[in-house]
Amino acid sequence: MRGDSSEAFEARQHVEALCAAGQPEEALRYAEQVEGHPLETEQLLAITEIDAGEMLADREIIARGVARFAQLEANSDTPVFAYNRANGQLAMWQVGVERLGIAQALTLHRDDLQEARDLFAEAGAHEAGSDNDRCQALTNLGNSLDACGRHIDALRAYEEALAIEPSFAMAHGNRGLTLLYRAAVDDVHQHALGCEGVKSLDIALVAPDDVLAHGGPAALESFRRQRARIDGTPTHEHDDEPLPDPYLEWCRRHELFLHTSHPCITLNTRVLDAIRFGGMTVGIDKNSQRRLQTLQDALNSLLQDYLSTRYLAWTTVEPETPTRQHAARLSQYASFHDSLLYARWGVATGLSVTALAAATNLLDKIASVTHLYLQTGRNPRHIYFRRFWLLPPKKNAPERPDPVIADSQLENGPNGPP
């Protein structure tokens, strides 16, 4: 609640105390009887329905709070209403998971999770909101992603929060937990991730009051417990020495390697480009084995084309490459008609056009392989990146999304976490 009167503030504190004491039903009865300004009492009741409903694992009570905030939001441009509605949608999702398990919750209540994420992102991007509210919204967005295994997306959300307020303790703490989790399962960058995670936790723990204010005692205890597992303060220094090959250094400088951490690339790094899968599981029948071979060949083809396209781009973008210098000399032996369009004709220009065409073809191949992986049943020869999400067009009919693509949302594959 923002801009509350002293009476509304006291009522909110009383509701929080009742919930903390394990009395959600009493909190609901109290909120329903509070009198005062209609806007303040409606907010209080909506917040109480969400908090108490989550404690009671009652989706219907939470839904009433969400509906109240939706009505308040419809009559006001205040971003805090979207933030509170997001908390309600996330609470409905969490209750669904607790009651049904994540697999069935994904089938029945996935929309709640996605709506919460959309609203958190909206509140975080709303410049009319306070920095504190925007940071909290983006941190909650990160938490909802992290809980489902989408750690990269979660880290991006935490960093967006820290771009608004670099000292926001909850974003630092949750970022630290995510990095430490990733470090435990990473076989290449374990030390670097661990060091960065410890650094984030230490920043959060410098401001325990801030953690308590935004995350409560449970968050502070979690941060302290995870930090206590690591002795001292480990450090990790990146090697800034340039790679000896100019092409490889250009790729590192522009972060074009298929590598999880370009700053960690050193002279001793042996594999710079790889399309990594945690594993592929298929049946023992011939069709499954053939599909596995097809997918492996497709991924190798994508990697090969990417390497070739990137090299061709380097030869045409950088002025001092041997290929570009040679192309300039060769162009002197050709006679182009002067069309007065001031175009720069020559071998180097032709190579640039070819590089662009190769990049476009690569995008089309990525779309084809994705459809192959998701088993949409579409002919890979007829799939193009620009219509990646859509079924083939029909005359005088609206565009139709491919149902397999729409259902999977390409987040972690058709059977992965949300």
Instruction: DSSP for 267-301, please give it.
Output: TT---------S-----SSHHHHHHHHHHHHHHHH
Structural domains of the chain sorted by starting position, each given as residue range(s) with its CATH number in brackets: 6-228 (1.25.40.10), 275-408 (no CATH)
CA–CA separation, 294 and 82 (whole Å): 46
CA–CA separation, 372 and 195 (whole Å): 39
pLDDT at 4: 57
In 3D, which of 98, 103, 116 has the Cα closest to residue 59? 98
Which tokens belong to 311? Answer: 């090299």
Residue 366 has pLDDT above 80, yes or no: yes
pLDDT at 411: 44
The total of other beta-carbon atoms located within 10 Å of residue 231's CB is: 6
pTM, whole model, 2 decimals? 0.65
Q: Answer whether 65's CB lies under 8 Å from 19's CB.
A: no
At 273-304, the pLDDT tens digits run: 988 776 777 778 888 888 888 888 988 999 99
At 47-87, the pLDDT tens digits run: 999 999 999 999 999 999 999 999 998 888 778 889 999 99
- Please, what is the average pLDDT of the chain? 86
Average pLDDT over residues 219-226: 95
CA–CA separation, 124 and 131 (whole Å): 9
Average pLDDT over residues 219-229: 95
pLDDT at 127: 87
3-state SS, residue 247: helix
State the number of CA atoms in the 13 A half-sphere of 386 facing the CB.
3
